[in-house]
Amino acid sequence: MSFSFLNFLSTDIGIDLGTANSLIYVKGKGITVNEPSIIALEDSSDRVIAVGNAARQMMGRTHQEIHTIRPLKDGVIADFEATEIMIREMIKKANINRMMIGRIVVCVPSGVTEVEKRAVRDAAERSGARETMLVAEAMAAAIGVGLDIHEPVGNMVVDIGGGTSEIAVISLSGIVHHNSIRIAGDEMNQSIIQYFKKNYNLLIGEKTAEEIKCEVGSAFALEEELETTVKGRDLIDGIPKTITIGSSEIRDALDEAIMAIVDAVKLSLERTPPELASDILDRGIILTGGGALLRRLDERLRHETSMAVHVAEDPLTCVVRGCGRILDEPERFEKVLLKQRRGV
Ligand code: ADP
Ligand code: MG
């Protein structure tokens, strides 16, 4: 069988290795995996018990012999081995024959080190990739949104994920300015947990905090404020308790995290070269990542920066769709691929 025939048969895939969610795009098929970046391992043997949704169900509910890991929790690869397991298992979920994998485009947070890049590349190669290409997450998000990143025009993309919020100014196929803070969706969940502890003596878990955020969370006053019920454990008498809470209280709880994101955006605007800043003024800021779904976050940023702010369509899938477009037209996007220094 000739090499070109093999190429014809092989499957190219794009992976968004997110701190909260991992997505896989299979060329010709679309997004086939979209699951939380979590694995559950058996303590004694480190055997993989569950990956993705099934592992998420186990979070906070494991017994002594099983533990769950989020390999990319804080936006860096905290656990190389766990990251490799996750890449391999997610590819299994995509249901492609390992022998038939051609190219893999993996996006990595823009600030990763050479060592982390090498680890991701090695992990992809051990999963069967014949060729691995890395792309910065913010760049993939911009491509996924459909921006023409090759133009000599400035675009600002703010991607709010689980572990990190990334701000990037992109022009002429490159990242002109980049800023990343470790305050994003996870930190918002933690703020909600702390709020209930401090104000209601109520202990709630991470999963509950996330549900509250998605149900009634907001970054700016709502026309009609919302309400939800919250179940937790009373810290004084230790008994489970239900309370009703309004969206304005949750807004207060989230304020510090949101202010940190606002400040980071302002700082990036200050540091953007003037010509590009004026482009951003014309075109507006684009929000991607799951955090972009927080109610009225766009309005809050508009209010604080006086810039136009747009929430991308389907913000949770922008990055993987960007990987997909790179796979569809690799020549066109050659310049955006991350180079690796030799010998690392
Ligand atoms: P990552 O790229 O780091 O994996 P994602 O872009 O998948 O992150 O976004 C995940 C984050 O988005 C999580 O912290 C999640 O709580 C948050 N999120 C998802 N939906 C909403 C929503 N409706 N409101 C607020 N935050 C949300
Ligand atoms: Mg992401």
Give the atom of ligand 1 at the shortest distance from the alpha carbon of 188.
14
Q: Does the C-beta of 18 come closer than 6 Å to ligand 1?
A: yes
Q: pLDDT, tens digit, for every residue of 31-62? A: 999 999 999 999 888 899 999 999 998 887 77
Half-sphere exposure of 42 (CA within 13 A, CB side): 5
Ligand 1 pocket mutation, candidates 24, 87, 157, 160, criterion most atoms within 8 A of CB? 160
The protein residue whose alpha carbon is closest to atom 24 in ligand 1 is: 294
Q: pLDDT, tens digit, for every residue of 65-117? A: 888 999 988 777 778 889 999 999 999 999 988 889 999 999 988 778 888 88
Position 344 scores a pLDDT of 45
Position 4 scores a pLDDT of 59
Position 166 scores a pLDDT of 94
Of 1-5, 143-147, 218-222, least confident by mean pLDDT is: 1-5
Mean pLDDT, rounded, of the chain? 92
Q: Does the C-beta of 213 come closer than 6 Å to ligand 1?
A: yes
The answer to whether the beta carbons of residues 216 and 185 sit under 8 Å apart is no
CA trace torsion 253, 254, 258, 260 (10° rounding): 50
Ligand nearest to the CA of 190: 1
Q: Does the C-beta of 19 come closer than 6 Å to ligand 1?
A: yes
Give which of 158, 205, 181 is closest to 308, Cα–Cα.
158
Give which of 250, 275, 267, 277 is closest to 304, Cα–Cα.
267
Tokens of 88: 């391999």
Ligand nearest to the CA of 187: 1
Query: Please, what's the b/e burial string for 97-136 (b: 16 or more CB within 10 A of its CB; e: otherwise)?
Result: eeeebbbbbbbbbbbbeeebbbbbbebbeebbbeebbbbb
Name residues whose C-beta falls within 8 Å of residue 166's C-beta, 6 or more positions apart in sequence.
Answer: 109, 110, 111, 137, 138, 157, 158, 159, 178, 179, 180
Measured CA to CA, the distance from residue 287 to residue 293 in angstroms comes to 9
pTM: 0.94
Distance 75 CA to ligand 2 centre (A): 9
Q: pLDDT, tens digit, for every residue of 200-250? A: 999 999 999 999 999 999 999 999 999 999 999 999 999 999 999 999 999
Mean pLDDT, residues 117-146 taken together: 93
* Distance from the Cα of residue 51 to its chain's centroid: 17
Instruction: Determine the length of the chain.
Output: 344
Ligand 1 pocket mutation, candidates 17, 19, 182, 189, criterion most atoms within 8 A of CB? 19
Distance 99 CA to ligand 2 centre (A): 28
